[in-house]
Amino acid sequence: MSIYLDHAATTPMVAAAKRALADQMDKLGNPSSLHMYGRATRKDVEESREAIARAVACRPSEVIFTGSGTEANNTALKGLHWLRANEKRNLVVISEIEHHAIFDPAQWLADYEKAEVIKLPVLASGEIDLAFLRKLVTERGNEITVISVMHSNNETGTIQPVAEIVKIASGAQIPVHCDAVQSFGKVPLSFKDLGVTALTISAHKIGGPMGIGALILQHGLEIPALIHGGGQEREIRSGTLNTPSIAAFAAAASDAASAQAERASFVSKLREQFIAGAKAAIPDLIVNGSGEQLPGIINLTFPGTESDTLLLLFDAAGVACSTGSACSAGVHEPSHVLMAMGHSQVSAQSSLRFSLSYLNSESDVAEVIALFPSVISRARAANL
C-alpha cells in the first residue's frame, strides 16, 4: 500500500507546471537583461505574474516573487513593522496559531527590534477571538504596526475571519497581512475582496515547484526590503528572477484556479467520508477544528496514543501523514495550534494531520480507515 495523505506539506507537481519548468530550462536569458534573450524571458515572467494575479484577484504589479512562502511572510511582517514603527507605535499582532514562518519573524522582531508582540487567542473551534482583537484595537490601535493572521490554519484547516479582521483594523488604519499558503488554490481567495494589505502564497502547495512563493502587496506601498542587491522585484526583493520556477508557479496557479470549485467539492466529500469512517473505527477520537474548514485537512486526536508512534505505524503500513507540527532537533513538539485551542500537552501529542487532495480517491480513504483499529490499538499498547 502506498497512500499519500500529506498534501498540506507538499503535493505532486501538476503536468502543466512540469512542462513549464522543463520548457524554461531550455531557454537562455536573464529577465533583467535588455537584449532579445532577456526580453524573451522577461515576457515569460510578466505573463506568469499576470496569471498569478488573475488567480488571486490582484493587480500584476502587486505580485512580488520570493524564494518561498516563508520569505514572503518575513518580508511582509518585518517590512510592514519597519515601515510604521516609531517610539509610540511598536506593537506587532499575530495569532496564537500562526505557522512558524510568522511566529519566528515576530519573535525576531521582539528579540532584535524590541517590538512588543501580542498573539491573538483562538476559540475552541480554532477561530481567532475577534472580541479580543476588537478590544485590543480599541485600546491600543495607535500602537499597532501590523496585524498578521493566516487565512486558514495548516494543522486544523480552520478558515479565519480575515475580512472581519480587516474591518476591525481598517478603522485604526492598521495594515493586515495574511498568510494564505494553505488556502490558495483550495478555496476562493481574492486579494481585492479580502482587503488585506499583503498576502502570502506558495507554489509547492498547489502543484508547483518548491522554492518559489509570492508576496502580494498593495499597489504603491513600499516597504523596507529584507534582501538587497539589484531591486528586481519592486525594490522589495532582490535576486535574479527564477524564471523556470516562476513559469511553473503560474502554470500550477492557473491549473488550481481552473478546477478549484470542482476539486474542493470532491475533496470535501472525501473528508466527510474519512471523518465518518474514523469515528466509526475509533469512537473516542476527537476531530480538531470546526466552523468553516479547508476541504482537505483533517486533524484528529487519538486519546492514549503518541503521534510519533502513530506516524511510524502508518508509515510502515504505507500511509503518509503528519504530526502537523514543527520539529526541533527532529523531536516533535506538542502543537502550539492545538494547545492554543485548549488541548493539554499530552492530548496535543496524541494528534495527527491527514491532508487530502483531489488526487486521492474514495478507496484510498477506505483503505486507510481499515488500518485504524490495528494501528491505534498498537499505538495505545506502546504508550503504556
Across the chain, where does the E strand assignment appear?
3-4, 63-66, 91-95, 116-120, 144-148, 176-179, 198-202, 213-217, 286-288, 297-301, 319-320, 327-328, 331-332, 351-355
Q: C-beta of 153: minimal distance to other proteins in Å?
A: 24
Grid cell, residue 383, equals 504508550
Q: C-beta of 319: minimal distance to other proteins in Å?
A: 13
- Of 296 and 334, which CB lies nearer to other proteins in the complex structure? 334
- Of 36 and 384, which CB lies nearer to other proteins in the complex structure? 384
Part of the chain binding other proteins (CB under 8 A), chosen from 112-120, 196-204, 274-282, 326-334: 326-334
312 makes contact with other proteins (CB under 8 A): yes
Q: C-beta of 365: minimal distance to other proteins in Å?
A: 24
Number of residues that bind other proteins (CB under 8 A): 17
Binding test (CB under 8 A) with other proteins, winner from 291, 315, 344, 345: 315
CB 232 within 8 A of CB 32: yes
d(CA 358, CA 140): 44
- Letter string b/e over residues 134-154, b meaning 16 or more CB atoms within 10 A of that residue's CB: bebbeeebebbbbbbbbbbbb
Sign of CA dihedral 248, 251, 254, 255: negative
Binding test (CB under 8 A) with other proteins, winner from 308, 320, 367, 371: 308
309 makes contact with other proteins (CB under 8 A): yes
Grid cell, residue 253, equals 496557479
Part of the chain binding other proteins (CB under 8 A), chosen from 165-173, 184-192, 193-201, 323-331: 323-331
CB 182 within 8 A of CB 355: no
- Of 168 and 352, which CB lies nearer to other proteins in the complex structure? 352
User: How many other CB atoms are there within 10 angstroms of residue 245's CB atom?
Assistant: 24
384 makes contact with other proteins (CB under 8 A): yes
Active-site residue, 58 included: no
Instruction: Measure the CA dihedral 276/280/283/286, to 10°.
Output: -20
- Of 184 and 314, which CB lies nearer to other proteins in the complex structure? 314
Q: C-beta of 277: minimal distance to other proteins in Å?
A: 22
d(CA 115, CA 91): 6
> For the chain, how far is it from start to end, CA to CA, in angstroms?
29
d(CA 58, CA 221): 14
Q: C-beta of 329: minimal distance to other proteins in Å?
A: 5
The interface mask with other proteins, positions 239-278, x = CB under 8 A, is ----------------------------------------
Angle, nearest 10°, between helix axes 243-281 and 15-25?
A: 160
Q: C-beta of 290: minimal distance to other proteins in Å?
A: 30
- Of 288 and 307, which CB lies nearer to other proteins in the complex structure? 307
Q: Contact residues for other proteins (CB under 8 A)?
A: 308-309, 311-313, 315-316, 329-332, 378-379, 381-384
Catalytic positions, written as ranges: 327
